[in-house]
Amino acid sequence: MTSLELHLPYAPMDDPQAPELARRRRRLGAMAIVAGLLVSTVVGAAVLPVPYVAMRPGSVRPVTEQVLVEGTPSYPPEHSIAYTTVSVGGTTLLEALAGWLDDDVDVFPEEVIRGDRDAEENRRYNAQLMDTSKLVAVAVALRHLGYEGVAVHTSGAVVRQIGEGSPAAAVLELDDVIVAVDGQPVDEPDEVGRLLQPGGPGADHVLTVERPPGSGTTLEVTVGTVAAPDDPQRAIIGIAPEDRLAGADLPVDVLIDSGTVGGPSAGLAFTLAVLDVLTPGELTGGHRVAATGTIGLDGTIGPVGGAVQKALTVRDEGYEVFLVPTDELDEVRTAIGDDLEVRAVGTLQDALDALASLGGNAGSLAGAAATVT
C-alpha cells in the first residue's frame, strides 16, 4: 500500500501550541481578507462614477468691466455689479456620499440636471441659454433707458416645463421647440399663448414641433386646450414656454464677455451692468452687490438653481448685498441667516428700487438715453 506523507509547514501536531497557532493564522488570514475588501471598496468608491451630479459653491464675478459698448458714450463704474456661479459636475460614489453629508452641497440624479442630454449636448444647451440671456439683458436695459428701435426676433418657443396630467404631457417633450401653431409661425415673443386662443378652451390645435431642438426636423402633433386656473376664458395646454431668440435689432452695440460660463441665471446681473455702464454714476451706491436671477423680455426675474450655493459664495467673498429672485428668498435666508443682507426682487424695477435704497442712481435711469446720448 502506498503511504501518503503530509509535509506541514506549521508546528508538528504533537506540539501543544499547534491548535492555537492555527487559529491565530486563520484569524489573521480572515482579517487580511476583510482589510483587502475594505481597501478595494474605498478605492472603488473613490473612482467609480455614479449617475449623480453635485452642485457646489462656485464663484462671484464682477461683470461691468466685461460690458463693451460701441456707438454711444459709456461710463464704467468704480464698483461693479457681480454675478454668481455654481460648480456642477459628475461624482464618484465617495463624492456623492460626502455631498449628501455636506449642507453646502446638493446632490441630484443626473437626469434632473441634464435631462436626456449627454455632457456635450448639455454644454451646448447651457451656452445657448447664456447667449439668449445676454441678448435679452441688453434689450431690456436699452428699452428701460428709452432707446428706440429695440426689436427682438424669435424662431419658436422652447418647452421648458410641462404640467403633470396636462394636455401637453401626452404629446410634447421637454426642450421641444414649437415653431408654428395651426400653420402660423411662432416668430414673435410670447406668441404661443396668443395663437392658442382661437376656439377657446376645449379647442384642438396642430403644433409644428422641432425635435430635437436645433435639428431642423419637425413633426406635427394635435393637442387640446383647457381653461386656465385663473381665467376660465383663457385656453392653455399646460406648458411653460420660453422664446427661442433668433436675433435683435439694437441701436447700440453692446457685447458681454461671459467667458465659458453657461446658463441663464446671470440675466439680472447682466441687465444691471449694462444700465450701469451706459449711464453716469454708480448704480450700487458704492456698495459691493451681487445678483442672481433670469431676466425676461418684460423685465420679470425668474428663479435659478443653486441659490444657496451662490449665497454662500457671495457671503464668503465679502459682498454686502445679494439680490435674489423672490421665490428663493426663504431658502437663501435659511441657509445664510443674518450673515448677508439679502433682498428679494421679482422685477427689474424691484432690483432698481433696492439699489436706489443703497444710495445708487437707479431712480434716475428710466428714459436716460434721451439725455445721455
Write the pLDDT tens digit of every residue in 342-371: 999 999 999 999 999 998 877 666 655 544
Q: What is the mean pLDDT of residues 246-272?
A: 89
Residue 242 C-alpha cell reads as 420660453
Q: What is the mean pLDDT of residues 35-58?
A: 62
Residue 372 has pLDDT above 50, yes or no: no
Write the pLDDT tens digit of every residue in 260-307: 888 888 999 999 999 999 999 999 999 999 999 999 888 999 888 888
- Identify the residue with better confidence: 29 or 324: 324
Residue 360 C-alpha cell reads as 445708487
* Whether the bond into 19 is cis, omega within 30 of 0: no
Whole-angstrom Cα distance, residue 308 to residue 315? 11
Residue 138 has pLDDT above 50, yes or no: yes
Q: Any residues with CB less than 8 A from the CB of 39 and at least 6 apart, and which?
A: none
Contact indicator for 155, 192 with CB cutoff of 8 Å:
no
Give the pLDDT band of residue 10 (cuts 50, 70, 90): very low
User: Would you tell me how many other CB atoms lie within 10 Å of the CB of residue 226?
Assistant: 16
Residue 363 C-alpha cell reads as 431712480
Looking at the domain that runs over 49-149+251-372, which CATH code has it been given? 3.30.230.10
CA 239 to mean position of chain CA atoms: 19
How much is the mean pLDDT over the chain? 82
Superfamily of domain 151-246: PDZ domain (2.30.42.10)
Single out the residue of 143, 164, 148, 175 nearest to residue 296, CA to CA: 143
Contact indicator for 296, 325 with CB cutoff of 8 Å:
no
Residue 32 has pLDDT above 70, yes or no: no
- At residue 147, φ and ψ (nearest 5 deg) are -65, 140
Q: What is the per-residue pLDDT for 64?
A: 87
Domain definitions of the chain by residue range: 49-149+251-372, 151-246
The pTM of the full predicted model, rounded to 2 decimals, is 0.74
Whole-angstrom Cα distance, residue 358 to residue 79? 13
Residue 118 has pLDDT above 60, yes or no: yes
Residue 306 C-alpha cell reads as 443653486
Residue 150 C-alpha cell reads as 429695440
